[in-house]
Amino acid sequence: MSGAAGAVEDAGHGGRSRRSAEPGPTSYYHRPILHRPTWEPVDIAGYLFLGGLAGASSVVAAAAQLTDRRQLARGAKCGSTAAIALSFVALVHDLGRPARFANMLRVFKVTSPMNLGSWLLSAFGPLSTVASASEVTGLAPGLGACATAGAAVLGPLVAAYTAALVSDTAVPSWHAGYREMPLVFVGSSAAAAAGLGLVVAPVAESTPLRHLGVLGDCGELLAEGAMWRRMGQAAAPYREGTAGRFQRAAGLLTVVGAVGAATVSRCSRLAAAASGLALLGGVSGSYEGRAAVNFLAGAFHPPHLKSRVPGVLAGLCDGNRSSCGPGVYLLQRLFHLISPGGPLSDGCVARAYRVNGPGLHTLLGGHPLGLGSRHHVARQDGGEDHAQPARRADALHLLCRPADAQRRPSEIVRGLPHSANPLRVTAGLAGHPWPSSRRSCRACSWVCLRAYLTKLRVRRVRVSALG
Amino acid sequence: MGSDLFDNGSAPAAASGYTDAPRRVGFFTDTSLCIGCKACEVACKEWNQVPEDGLVFTGMSYDNTQGLGADTWRHVAFIEQRKPLGGQVGGGGSDGAQEFRWLMSSDVCKHCTEAACLDVCPTGALFRTELGSVVVQEDICNGCGYCIPACPFGVIDQRKEDGRAWKCTLCYDRIGAGGEPACAKACPTGSIQFGLLEELHVHADQRLEELQASGMDDAQLYGRDPGDGVGGAGAFFLLLDEPEVYGLPPDPVVTTRDLPSMYARAALAALALGATVAALFSAPRR
């Protein structure tokens, strides 16, 4: 008894001495409340830089093609494709389960910027690749032009959505800047694209790039200043330690690049390339700095933010309940039919959670607010699909061809061998059988697509068997 | 009209598309009854087969698990304070040197009405159950890690050796078979109470009145208010001090509340980029 009391006393003194410096409510043994993000600095900061570069470069490429700046168009297209390919590698590498990367596309979910970004990249990457392939090989110029235009439309979104991705978190230094961060990201991606252009294009073609570099830099710096002013205390980690050093180096390079772009770069190709490299370095440095804030030295959550600072700890939300506009609502209506199908048959969930009792409802498809989940409530005991017919019907008319709408996916896919499903393995769903998709949704275009791919695959297999 | 996308109201299961969802269940953790036995931690580990979470001695009172994480789904906090407990009369000198209270609290995933982890999950691995709880499907999760900085409570985390995100499931499997969660089943003092959330609310309000009447002025309910930043929690607490003392955020807000604004601003910025490039390139050449 006395021993226990002694232990309590000792621990009490230890705890008290650590906390005694702070008056009022304190933290729990100075432990941060939030978990540190698991994202790797090289992967994610590298992606932020490369994604921005690719997105803005695709716009530059299209503009250069329209204004007959051939070398710039070629360089920007190839740079964009290389950057987006590297981005893809970085993003997949950063996953805890890289083999399951395709799960990113198993739902369409507007509440997740990462999900929207995955869809965006899965459209942008092929377009950019086709554009640059056509440019380099000279084949199919019409297709190449279309792909260039498509990539130019999506490119700005690729450059800007990452701001929503980063700020849609509880980390104060990330969330608090959500108003200005898109401008910061877009400005720096414009500067990066201008830098790349200055490196690859001759002086005769680079006039707009010089202006773009200066404008991008000015936009970035102004927006960043406004962001930090608004963030107040939450901006402190950007100025301290490793992150601060990155930021200062980036700022210096940015200024050097902008001044070089504005002055000497019109004189010689070499000076232009140097300015371009400085711009690129400045942009990548500031991205690195931004990321280093959060990844290095645990600075993302300094102790002084743990006390009750109004708004800061809670992510500086202003508390007003925003509602989404008609556009988002339309997207929701359009896409809530896209369902995961395969992996989450109720049987699988039952196995996963060791549940066998009757009456268990299983939600197929993930997100509660989400698209794809609302009409996919399956009941285990009855084995019936309780999808809501009304919602299914309106989705049906929006996305499916009438002929497909009349056919159940089960009719399409029934009888095909499991191994004939090409997406099963790539989606990381190996081991999960088909039945849920056979059963669950007649309106689901995802399933229709899979059935179509399966048919193609089977036909090819049969042909090769005959041959 | 589309506001339901970012607002679950009071019935998250119904807002998620369940047409005949059962009534919402949850935890009420009455920390005034907690004796720090850690039976909840053990029961949770045993039932859910959660791996070992580090055998370390921290010196943080009797707390060696330190906090919730991928391998700690129930965590008992121990706080030692130089304060009297309620109306307790301290022995000894007038300087309060003998005054002491030991607060214990079993923390758990809050199963928020508006859950940020679930909102941001890009694969749909996190989902809302018909009971209103939030569960990770381990066969879907690809370890993107987005849920981890999104959670304002610091609950969900990545299991390093495994790559995926893990957290409390409110014992979805046990409830489905008519049981109650392992921690609540194992709690010897009734500190962890499991049941219908509405009934737990009524009970918690009564308990709070009792405690305040007995002199515990700092006693407060945490996560009880449906109007708070996460729309109220499915697992709420009766605390004897401020939330920060227990390592809980005082005013958590689900980050997706600002998402429509983020999207709008990103779209505007994207438009600005396109317009700037177009304007610069369409200028006549000198």
CA distance A74 to A85: 17
- Residues A296, A340, single domain; the answer is no
Do A197 and A338 belong to one domain?
no
Rounded Cα distance between A218 and A184, Å, is 10
Q: Element (H or E) spanning B96, and its range?
A: none
**For chain B, what are the domain ranges?**
21-254
Residue B86 exposure: Cα atoms within 13 Å on the Cβ side: 13
Whether residue A271 is found in the same domain as residue A375: no
Q: How far apart are CA A413 and CA A354, in angstroms?
A: 29
Domain count for chain A: 2
Residues A276 and A209 in one domain: yes
Residue A449 and residue A369 share a domain? yes
Expressed as residue numbers, the domain containing A401 is 326-466
Inter-chain CB proximity B270 and A182 less than 8 Å: yes
Q: How far is A90 from chain B (nearest CA, A)?
A: 12
- The beta-carbon neighbor of A366 closest among B124, B248, B265 is B124
Point out the domain boundary residue: A305, A339, A362.
A305
The 3-state secondary structure of A368-433 reads CCCECCCCCEEECCCCCECCCHHHHHHHHHHHCCHHHHCCCHHHHHCCCCHHHCHHHHHCCCCCCC
What tokens does A57 get?
Answer: 């470069």
Closest CA to A348 of A380, A304, A317, A390: A380
Distance CA A382, CA A350 (A): 14
Q: Considering only CB atoms, which chain A residues are within 8 Å of B2?
A: 323-326, 328-329, 332
> CB–CB of B253 and A319 under 8 A?
yes
Q: Which residues of B touch A363 (CB under 8 A)?
A: 16-18, 127-130
Q: The tokens of A263 are what? A: 């002055």
Residues A298, A332 within the same domain:
no
Bridge pairing between strands B101-108 and B126-128: unpaired
Q: Does B275 touch chain A (CB under 8 A)?
A: no
Task: List CB contacts (< 8 A) between A315 and chain B.
Answer: 152, 252-253, 255
Is A365 domain-assigned? yes
Residue B250 to residue A314: CA distance in whole angstroms = 8
Give yes or no: residues A348 and A285 share one domain: no
Q: Please give the CATH number for the structural domain made up of B21-254.
A: 3.30.70.20
A52 lies in the same domain as A153: yes
Report if pTM > 0.80: no
Decide if A134 contacts A147 (C-beta within 8 A): yes
What DSSP assignment string belongs to A222-273?
Answer: HHHHHHHHHHGGGGGGGTSHHHHHHHHHHHHHHHHHHHHHHTGGGT-HHHHH
Over its length of 467 residues, how does chain A's per-residue pLDDT go in tens digits? 333 333 333 333 333 333 333 445 578 888 888 888 888 877 888 888 899 999 999 999 999 999 999 999 999 999 999 999 999 999 999 999 999 999 999 899 999 999 999 999 999 999 999 999 999 999 999 999 999 999 999 999 999 999 999 999 988 888 888 999 999 999 989 988 998 898 888 888 888 998 998 898 888 889 988 988 888 777 777 777 777 777 787 778 878 888 887 777 777 777 778 878 877 777 665 554 444 444 332 333 322 222 222 222 222 222 222 223 333 333 332 332 222 222 222 222 222 222 222 222 222 222 222 222 222 223 223 333 333 332 332 222 222 333 434 444 444 344 333 433 333 323 333 333 333 333 333 334 454 455 555 555 555 554 544 43
**DSSP for A26-69, written as a single string:** --STT--SSPPP---IIIIIHHHHHHHHHHHHHHHHHHHHHTT-
Restricting to A residues 372-411, those with a Cβ less than 8 Å away from any Cβ of B are 372-377, 386, 388
C-alpha triplet B30, B36, B37: angle, nearest 5°: 115
- Here the CATH number for the domain that contains residue A124 is 1.20.1630.10
Question: Does A21 map to a domain?
Answer: no
Distance, CA of A406 to CA of A201 (rounded, Å): 54
Task: Return the residue of A nearest to B178 by Cα.
Answer: A357
CB within 8 Å: A170 and B280: no
Identify which of A28, A111, A373 has the shortest CB distance to residue B256.
A111
Question: CB distance from B274 to chain A under 8 Å?
Answer: yes
| Cβ atoms of residues B31 and B191 within 8 Å | yes
The answer to whether residue A312 sits within a structural domain is no
Interchain contact, B172 vs A356, CB within 8 Å: no
Comparing CB atoms, the residue among B69, B102, B146 nearest residue A114 is: B146
Q: CB pairs below 8 Å between A and B: how many?
A: 404
Exposure letters A318-330 (e unless 16+ CB within 10 A, then b): eeeebebeeebbe
Same domain, A252 and A370: no
Per the CB < 8 Å rule, is B5 touching A35? no
> In this complex, do A114 and B122 lie within 8 Å of one another by their Cβ atoms?
yes
Amino acid sitting at position B171: C
Tell me which residue has tokens 């050796």.
B161
Residue at A380 is within a domain: yes
Give the separation between CA A150 and CA A171, rounded to whole angstroms. 34
Interface confidence, given as ipTM, is: 0.93
Same domain, A230 and A341: no
Give me the phi and psi of B160, to 5 degrees please.
-60, -45
CA gap A38, A54 in Å, rounded = 25
**Contact call for B127 and A365, based on CB within 8 A:** yes
